[in-house]
Amino acid sequence: MRALHILGALAFGVVGCSVINAFDDVAPGNDASATGGTGAASGGTGGTGAAAGSAGSGGGAGGSDAAAGGGAAGGGGSGGTTAQPGAIVLGARVANTGPPQKEVLVALSPHDGSELVREDVPQAVTGLAHEGVPGRDFWYVLRRTEAPPSQKTELSIRRLNRSTTPATWDVLDTLEVPPVFDEKGIAVLNRRLVYLANVQGDAGVSTALVAIDTSDETNLVLLPPLIVSDEFRGLIGHPSTTQAGGILSLIRFQGAGQVSIGVQKAAVPTTGAPQMVENNPTNVGGFLFPSTSPAWGANNVENFDVIVLPPVVTDAGVGSAQLRQFNSSNHAPTSTQPFDVGGGNFRQLAFDSCRKLAITVLLNQDNSIRVVPVSSGTEAKLSLNESAQRVFYEPYTQTALAPFQGTNSQIRAFSVGGTGQAPTITAKSLNAPADLIPSGPMAVEAPLNAQYKPVCN
């Protein structure tokens, strides 16, 4: 593994919070460079299968997750065993081992929960993401390489090889990188992995926006980090559809007590380090800290930011939560959908870009999973026996995943149906291995076309 010389990078390459006026090189368009590939997974003996090269949302630090990425189906063969498309990858602990409990990296089938491959890892997985367009079917795995309190972190870029049973991981390259800052601060752009990190410099530990150039999967390159305010708590990624890089909406919390939520644009250009595009955030709402919290995600079909705002507590009682969309270019609101909840501590948001549905859960409050249309329509909800801590959406099987770590640890699954105006949600049997405790981050495959957009039926 190549070593990280972060102090040297800070000395010669840190880009300050300077603003650039335009970023035409990451504007939407057609990406001719991303065409012509096929899915990386192959079939069994006798021919190449039609397994998909695809991608999905990912998550990061401390055993949690966040969201972006995708992929398109690969070319099919004849005479071989065709692998079903899609995968769920997670960091987990193994029950009845230790102490400490064994850490593993696991890939599961979203169709029935069967285990595709399990790999023992010496320390916890801290971040996962996937990129998958034709010719690029890659998983990104961030994990600690030394026991806490060490934050030494390794990034590996991999392919999930399903031509064998069990499947195997093909590790293409590894690189020592700064540790992930927050589970809501990781995204896959066009040939770039981006996340919020902690970096050590002469002035101490700083929050930084870190980008890794993944154009050559056999030679990952850490770009100079961009030092940012420690008020940034997450990001929403919008890949460029024309070339490497893309736009980021950085989520910023300001104030105490009644905290304002700001969105501030940054960009990862085709060449060079991340840069700020805006000096100041645009206020998009507020919440009462620490009793409530917002959640966010991306509608990458329309290049919108999606944010769930907790209810505002007034003398008259608790109001409705709001699901709001904003144009990622100018932060202008495009839609607002109120819905009633029994709390306000939103943990995470998953998004079905095709039907424009937000899927969300609350931590230790209002034990239910909800599917909310972004504009007009009726929400669907289902009560849960235990609180939900995280949520993901797997588009191949239209499955919402709400892993739970606790007395009854499990990977709960729910079928999302209906339309964008009248969604439905029902419990689904996944039958994941019973010994897995979903303690780490999770990522799923979600098909993208050559323009880094979700594929819709």
- CATH number, domain containing residue 406: 2.130.10.10
Report whether pLDDT(46) > 70: no
**159-168 pLDDT, tens digit each:** 999 998 899 9
Residue 180 maps to a domain = yes
**Mean pLDDT in the chain?**
82
How much is the pLDDT for 447?
Answer: 82
Report whether pLDDT(61) > 90: no
Stated pTM of the model? 0.83
Distances (CA, A) of 32 to 68, 344, 361, 454: 21, 44, 38, 17
How much is the pLDDT for 168?
Answer: 97
Contact 186, 58 (CB under 8 A): yes
The number of distinct structural domains making up the chain is 1
Q: Given pLDDT bands bounded at 50, 70 and 90, which one contains residue 314?
A: low
**202-249 pLDDT, tens digit each:** 778 889 999 999 999 999 999 999 999 999 999 999 999 989 999 999
* Phi and psi torsions of 64, nearest 5°: -140, -160
Of 18-27, 296-305, 351-360, 432-441, minimum mean pLDDT range: 18-27
SS3 per-residue string spanning 52-72: CCCECCCECCCCCCCCCCCCC
Residue 53 maps to a domain = yes
Q: Given pLDDT bands bounded at 50, 70 and 90, which one contains residue 313?
A: low
How much is the pLDDT for 316?
Answer: 57
Structure tokens at 223: 């770009």
Report whether pLDDT(251) > 70: yes
SS3 per-residue string spanning 95-137: CCCCCCCCEEEEEECCCCCCEEEEEEECCCEEEEEEEEECCEE
Distances (CA, A) of 403 to 5, 140, 360, 408: 36, 20, 13, 10
Residue 26 maps to a domain = no
Residue 30 maps to a domain = no
Most confidently modeled of 159-163, 183-187, 340-344?
A: 159-163
Structure tokens at 360: 């969300």
SS3 per-residue string spanning 400-432: EEEEECCCCCEEEEEEEEECCCCEEEEEECCCC
Q: Given pLDDT bands bounded at 50, 70 and 90, which one contains residue 87?
A: very high
Residue 29 maps to a domain = no
Report whether pLDDT(104) > 80: yes
Report whether pLDDT(438) > 60: yes
Amino acid identity at 107: A
Distances (CA, A) of 342 to 311, 318, 353: 9, 9, 26
Radius of gyration over every alpha carbon of the chain, rounded to an integer in angstroms: 21
Report whether pLDDT(17) > 60: no
- What span, in angstroms and rounded, lies between the C-alpha atoms of 304 and 275? 20
Contact 213, 223 (CB under 8 A): yes
* Phi and psi torsions of 205, nearest 5°: -85, 130
How much is the pLDDT for 338?
Answer: 93
Please classify residue 248 by burial: count the beta carbons closer than 10 Å to its beta carbon, then call 0-12 exposed, 13-18 middle and 19+ buried.
Answer: buried
Report whether pLDDT(433) > 70: yes
Strand, coil or helix: 168: strand
Q: Given pLDDT bands bounded at 50, 70 and 90, which one contains residue 295?
A: very high
In the DSSP assignment, the letter for residue 6 is H
Report whether pLDDT(279) > 50: yes
- What span, in angstroms and rounded, lies between the C-alpha atoms of 36 and 44? 23
Contact 450, 71 (CB under 8 A): no
**2-16 pLDDT, tens digit each:** 655 443 333 333 334
Q: By C-alpha distance, which of 351, 264, 353, 249 is closest to 301?
A: 353
- What span, in angstroms and rounded, lies between the C-alpha atoms of 284 and 160? 39
Q: By C-alpha distance, which of 309, 270, 295, 279 is closest to 351?
A: 295
**367-413 pLDDT, tens digit each:** 889 999 998 899 999 998 887 778 999 999 999 999 988 778 889 99
Q: What is the pLDDT averaged over residues 23-47? A: 37
Residue 181 maps to a domain = yes
Residue 449 maps to a domain = no
Residue 200 maps to a domain = yes
- What span, in angstroms and rounded, lies between the C-alpha atoms of 271 and 419? 41
163-172 burial, b at 16+ Cβ within 10 Å, e below that, comes to beeebbbeeb
Q: What is the pLDDT averaged over residues 408-419? A: 93
β partners of residue 402: 412
CA atoms 257, 226, 304, 141: torsion sign: negative
- What span, in angstroms and rounded, lies between the C-alpha atoms of 188 and 244? 11
How much is the pLDDT for 205?
Answer: 85
More confident residue, 72 or 286: 286
Of 149-153, 315-319, 332-336, 345-349, minimum mean pLDDT range: 315-319
More confident residue, 60 or 419: 419
How much is the pLDDT for 83?
Answer: 72
Contact 312, 321 (CB under 8 A): no
Contact 345, 293 (CB under 8 A): yes
- Domain range enclosing 396: 6-16+35-79+86-444
Q: Given pLDDT bands bounded at 50, 70 and 90, which one contains residue 318?
A: low
